[in-house]
């Protein structure tokens, strides 16, 4: 019996051989600008993590008191806006491609979950800002959380707890689900075009 390590390695190689994980060719139908938005979403996520890491290195109050901190906070904010913008276009594009076809339902689902999880990730960032915006969002958001009992263990008025969620717990979830999404994309390949019904009918008649 092979070791656990060998099994994991064989599982990985079987499902994601190197040429599939890092392909140097793609089906010829991948020739639309819509395909760029997945990569742009990843690029925005990298920018968010990089700017967020710099902000985390200096602590949550830094950006309020130093202009260089404010600069990186601004990059963090705009990269979040870009992240959602690119991701929404990416999701719409995949919807109109019916990209879940051919056993790719998990690809769609992990992408959708990434969007859903990104929302509380951003929310915890907004309530961690320590300015008027965070005061208002926290006091208003608490009612939504409390109404379903979530507020009993997720206190949006506790900036320490929100900061922990924002810089560690939610990012781990987002990075994890996005990584899984990318691996599934590589595993299954990009979805082929929807056959045009007319030509299918013609072909079937021959």
Q: Footprint of other proteins on residues 4-63 (CB under 8 A)?
A: 17, 19-20, 22-32, 34, 36, 39-40, 42-44, 46-47, 50-51, 63
Residue 200, CA atoms < 13 Å, CB-side half-sphere: 5
The stretch among 4-12, 94-102, 173-181 that binds other proteins (CB under 8 A) is 94-102
Shortest CB 180 distance to other proteins, Å = 14
Q: Which residue has the tokens 């990843």?
A: 42
Q: Which is nearer to other proteins, 86 or 170 (CB)?
A: 86
Of the candidate residues 159, 167, 177, 184, the single one contacting other proteins (CB under 8 A): 159
* In contact, 64 and 130? CB cutoff 8 Å: yes
CA 122 to each of CA 5, 101, 141, 150, 204: distance values in angstroms, whole numbers, following the listed order: 37, 31, 13, 17, 50
In angstroms, rounded to a whole number, what is the distance separating the alpha carbons of residues 115 and 163?
A: 20
| Number of residues near other proteins (by CB under 8 A) | 104
Q: Which is nearer to other proteins, 6 or 201 (CB)?
A: 201
């Amino acid at each position: 019996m092979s070791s656990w390590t060998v099994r994991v390695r064989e599982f990985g190689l079987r499902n994601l051989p190197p040429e599939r994980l890092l392909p140097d060719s793609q089906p010829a139908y991948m020739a639309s600008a819509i395909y760029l938005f997945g990569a742009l979403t990843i690029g925005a996520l990298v920018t968010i993590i990089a700017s967020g890491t710099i902000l985390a290195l200096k602590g949550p109050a830094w950006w309020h008191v130093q202009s260089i901190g404010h600069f990186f906070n601004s990059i963090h904010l705009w990269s979040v806006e870009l992240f959602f913008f690119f991701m929404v276009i990416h999701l719409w594009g995949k919807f109109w491609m019916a990209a879940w076809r051919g056993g790719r339902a998990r690809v769609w689902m992990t992408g959708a979950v990434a969007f859903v999880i990104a929302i509380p990730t951003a929310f915890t960032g907004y309530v961690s800002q320590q300015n008027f915006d965070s005061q208002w969002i926290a006091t208003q958001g608490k009612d939504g959380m409390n109404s379903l009992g979530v507020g009993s263990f997720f206190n949006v008025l506790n900036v320490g707890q929100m900061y922990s969620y924002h810089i560690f717990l939610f990012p781990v979830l987002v990075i994890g689900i996005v990584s899984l999404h990318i691996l599934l994309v590589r595993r299954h390949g990009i979805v082929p075009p929807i056959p045009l019904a007319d030509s299918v009918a013609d072909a079937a008649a021959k």
